[in-house]
Chain A
């Protein structure tokens, strides 16, 4: 798997201009997709923000996540990617993904956040350079703030095409994680919520560092922290990764916590921390462990290996039109397929970076990450499983009863036992026990069994 490179070609740097009447934040855009197709420097929005301080702090938090690596040393900062903006008919979403692939941040500027709606829909990269961020942080944004995403000025590009160009590595695992976090979010459910002051106190009570994952569960008007999982508990691995919530707490009306269903035997799991800022929402999603990015989760591999889901995904993708909330029932009706198939297709698209998931709205939204990458290249385990099948390494055992399979990997024959949960005798399974999705042997066995039945 080779890593690609992403070239940001901005017409100029993003800037904050000060004026007597207020400030104007011009966000430069680069690449992406709009309703009309791929665009070089799309223009999405220009309008006044109704709560500039909260929006500006949220954008800065988003940019901070993009520039952070919560596990590797800080020296990688210079290589980091810029946030991504998705424009819908009624809202703007700023998304960023940390360099360590373990933290995803999204700021949703809701319809109430601006005086005029966006002028076009699509997704693009936006420049958050040092000077602009410092200016935005230092600006007295209590006054009016005019935000522009892209420019509607017609500028004839000089030879060379752009005024600023920056190239950054684009590791496949980063792109994969950026997409997968959305699909994982769909598996989460609310754990609890706290009002503004209680949220502030709770977030501040979380230790900055913990060597083992902590679990937060509702307790007497706050969340209590433990080191063991339980029902209604959300995992916090690497609590320092919640740092970016800090500056936003003063605007927070409510904190909602989401996590996949857990019990006393649960293993480390992702969690999402959503601050309701009134006219905006800021959501921070953490990977299950601080040293573990979303890219390694593999929870969706079973789905991605399913060719039916892939076909449904193609079907669904054909009718998406930058909706800020995708109504699954409507979609099922219009496509004349079952709701479950639409959901499978959407999950498939989420893992491919083509839709996002909004926990508060409990719905997918359409956005196309502005980085091209093939699904197979992003999921080496899936490719390896296909390779095992192609090489005839999979032998189903007692196929009629669905007992399992023997999978030859080199000189070792691993035994796969169909579950639930599916089990294997490989060290990878022994280490993770299915918590990071199926191993390549289980995946290959399942695919072979499906082929057998099909």
Chain B
């Protein structure tokens, strides 16, 4: 064996890199394998003894924490001393292992590609001096180059793809330069280069200086032959190039250095890089299927290269082709250069017109506008092409922005509408124009006046038909039918509908329906079939978001717990393994995961004794609100109410005597009638005679329909041990109309997600004092909302940790107090506000829980809706738009309340108008929701005075687009003021546009009005109209 392990170990011990290289240089693979075997214990080092856990008394821990973890308790100091003694050998070895010689030798002895890759990734695990990372890579490269293992290229590819540890690109490049591997094909060899190629060094003053990219490339000229050109063909290389900006520090001030684009341009100017090839490579890069948002660097480089006119002219066909690119930077580059050619008279005008259509429909307005400008220039330069230019401009009628369409119409007007056959070609595009521009098109003679006034359903809107719109047309056609339905309404209910009908007949749109909460449809009979219960539990263990199924399963498990234990155990046996998995993970009934509650109910139903929960809660003083249910089983947050009830139910199930849950919902919104409740009390009296618990009673009271409950209270008194009077008063009090105020700002306490800062919230506080209720603690819990920003952490509880699982909890909230939808909405605002920043949140579920027409939307409901519209996540915004549409059609949406909520949210910094406008766009297809958008925008305007908030123009623009379809109410003063303003700010322009459109007839106004009336009539027929309207 030519390799002496003892010599090698000695060289490693004295950190002699040169000696290590020398000793390994001539070694064969067999020598290395033998050496590795001989040195195995030295290379792996002694075992490190991990410290044993130290037990601290609560007070010791509190003191330790109070000292900022500086004053160590004696037990910790003792443990540290013992640990140092035990690890004496390990620390001595670690000193050696941190040396470069040791780490270099490891590569010389590595058993294969996997081992080498692992070593490369762990290179700096023990030694942390990054100052020498380039030299370290060179050393490793030298050792590997001496060795030349067959797996070297594979190793480099693997390390480039997972580049932690030893610097991957410098290592790869060094090996390429040494000629021991070919240039790697891995894209990372190119994408890592921009950030790795410049060497840095620390000066004597400790400050870092770095090479410029140009210096680095000149330092390693081989890069100019190949690697530089790969930057134009590898995805995301441009993105990396854009990120790298070298800088230096001069007297403590950061001085920006050379960019990569500067460097390439400089080297090109010096004749070191072929200029023609660079220009072509940039243009080709735009055609590759790179991420369109990551190719801006090529445009930057093109700008730096400043192509001469001859160069552009020679590539004119490529620039023309770029007009159809889906990359904004590419189209902008093309437009700029083609503009230069056009001005210089060196562009074939016809070719430009032929290539213009894609740019005219490019989503970004500035691109389409620039293209129209180019077309205008062509027409000016070449009068013979005026007709063809007009036809080309008409392609912009297909642009989604109305102002682009308008600009195209203006250009055509300026050029003059050509005769046939060009006129026919333009007319083919007119169908794409917004309805409000049809009059302008008619004025140009592109269509007849009659066509301009053609109502909805014209070919301009494609061929998809709509259930909603066809229903709307049917309603309009059956206005007489609505009148007949009004005549048979009871007098007390008819007044509101009659008033609405008068408005419709006067050509106006009735407002929202003054509604009260409604119970919703009756649910199927309670679960009495054990097989059905098992099926429900099977599903709920995996997905507990169906709140009604959850309630049915809970009540069914209690009801069927009187079955023999053996029968229950047999029936539920297939679920037990899964249930135990959940039960072992989560603290029992703590309100953080509903599936865990289901698991515990399943286990209890099988006859298993549940472990007691109180001991699992521990001290909560460190984290108030960490548990939604405390150790005694009392709910502390809205999320805890279901878990507390599940805990109560589990205790009943464990007795095996069956029973009844008083709070089991009878309708889709969770309501219970007095008759049903009384029947349950009777059934309970006949059976176990024992109610489930306080939370069951509380929720039953909250769910019990308003009104006279007859002799329910006496029967309940006997059962509950609470005075009948207290129950009756409690029921009356929990129906009290509450008054809320919106509050905006940052919550106090720790953020829900520790990695993030708090964001602005819009929550609701109870104004004044909610009534004290003698027999319903849950009511006190729900109405304890004097300062929701300060209480946020406590009220939200475990969602801080478990937001991924919180959908199921939130889905059940609106069922808890079906007759107090505003109270439910006040709590739902918390998950809704989670959605104001990106991430997976329960906001969508919160919105869906408010969709039922029986969930009346008051001021707080509208706050919730607006927070949903302003969500950072598109799907939540779309869910909010859906709620908007539904609430318009069932009469719940009040534009005045929506406008107030928008105003409050915007002023408080919680709501962004750009998101609201985007969301409302999704609700704008149907006539009545569109009309309500216009009304809301108009109502919101005066609230914004005197300072128009950011992106107000987007709301105005949306309204302006809708007005020709659905008309508008009186425009507020602020819109008229803005419209009269001089200048071309976007907000003034869009206000002027809205003011202009105000004169439109509103082609779908009749449908919107009839649909609004239909909502009034339907609500009146259901007896859900309050007298307030």
Contacts and interface: CB of A to CB of B under 8 A. Distances in A.
B465 interface: yes
Given A211-B873, A414-B574, A60 B289 contact: yes
B400 interface: yes
A221 B462 contact: yes
A75 B324 CA distance: 28
Interface residues of A, number: 67
Contact of B317 (A140, A225, A247): A140
Interface centre among B236, B320, B578 (most CB of A within 10 A): B578
A134 B400 contact: no
A218 B465 contact: yes
Interface residue tally on B, bucketed by range: 35 or more
B921 A137 contact: no
Interface string A125-150: 00000100111011110100000000
Nearest to A63: B289
Contact of B463 (A64, A195, A217): A195
B26 interface: no
B922 A225 contact: yes
Interface stretch (A37-45, A355-363, A375-383, A427-435): A427-435
Interface of B: 161, 187, 233, 235-236, 283-284, 286-289, 317-318, 320-321, 324, 326, 354, 357-358, 361, 363, 397-398, 400, 431-432, 456-457, 459-469, 531, 534-535, 538-543, 573-575, 577-578, 840, 844, 848, 851, 873-875, 877-879, 881-882, 885, 921-922, 925-927
Contacts of A195: 459, 462-463
Contacts of B358: 250
Given A214-B878, A247-B326, A413 B840 contact: no
A119 B289 CA distance: 31
A64 B922 CA distance: 29
A228 B879 CA distance: 8
A412 B574 contact: yes
Contacts of A74: 235-236
B324 A250 contact: yes
A198 B462 contact: yes
18 contacts: A75-B161, A133-B288, A140-B320, A193-B464, A194-B463, A198-B462, A207-B875, A214-B875, A218-B464, A220-B469, A221-B460, A221-B461, A226-B878, A413-B573, A425-B574, A426-B538, A430-B543, A430-B578
Interface string A416-445: 010000011111011101000000000000
Contacts of A189: none
Given A194-B464, A201-B400, A430-B540, 18 more contacts: A67-B289, A133-B289, A137-B287, A138-B286, A140-B317, A140-B321, A200-B398, A211-B840, A212-B844, A214-B878, A222-B462, A226-B881, A412-B574, A414-B574, A415-B574, A425-B535, A431-B543, A433-B539
A219 B875 contact: no
Interface string A306-339: 0000000000000000000000000000000000
Contacts of B287: 134-135, 137-138
Contacts of A4: none
B874 A220 contact: no
A205 interface: yes
B400 A430 contact: no
A425 B542 contact: no
Contacts of A60: 289
A210 B874 contact: yes
Nearest to B318: A138
A135 B848 CA distance: 49
Contacts of A413: 573-574
Nearest to B576: A412
Contacts of A250: 324, 357-358, 361
A246 B326 contact: yes
A279 interface: no
A74 B173 CA distance: 24
Given A192-B465, A425-B534, A130 B320 contact: no
Contacts of B875: 207, 210-212, 214, 227
Contacts of B286: 138
A227 B844 contact: yes
A199 B878 contact: no
A135 B539 CA distance: 53
Given A142-B354, A430-B538, A209 B874 contact: yes
A134 B284 contact: yes
B461 A220 contact: yes
A385 B921 CA distance: 49
Contacts of A205: 400, 921-922
A232 interface: yes
Interface string A179-203: 0000000000000111111111100
A78 interface: yes
A424 B384 CA distance: 76
A204 interface: yes
Contacts of B354: 142
A221 B573 contact: no
Contacts of A162: none
A197 B541 contact: no
Nearest to B289: A64
A431 B848 contact: no
Contact of A197 (B398, B543, B877, B921): B398
Interface centre among B469, B543, B921, B925 (most CB of A within 10 A): B925
A430 B539 contact: yes
| Best-surrounded residue of A60, A64, A134, A200 (most CB of chain B within 10 A) | A134
Given A140-B320, A193-B464, A228 B289 contact: no
Contact of A431 (B534, B542, B844, B878): B542
A348 interface: no
Given A197-B432, A201-B400, A427 B541 contact: yes
Contacts of B317: 140
Given A247-B326, A430-B542, A224 B922 contact: yes
Which 7 residue pairs of A and B lie closest in terms of their CB atoms, listed nearest first? A221-B461, A207-B874, A198-B462, A218-B464, A138-B287, A425-B574, A137-B287
Contact of A227 (B320, B465, B848): B848
A222 B288 contact: no
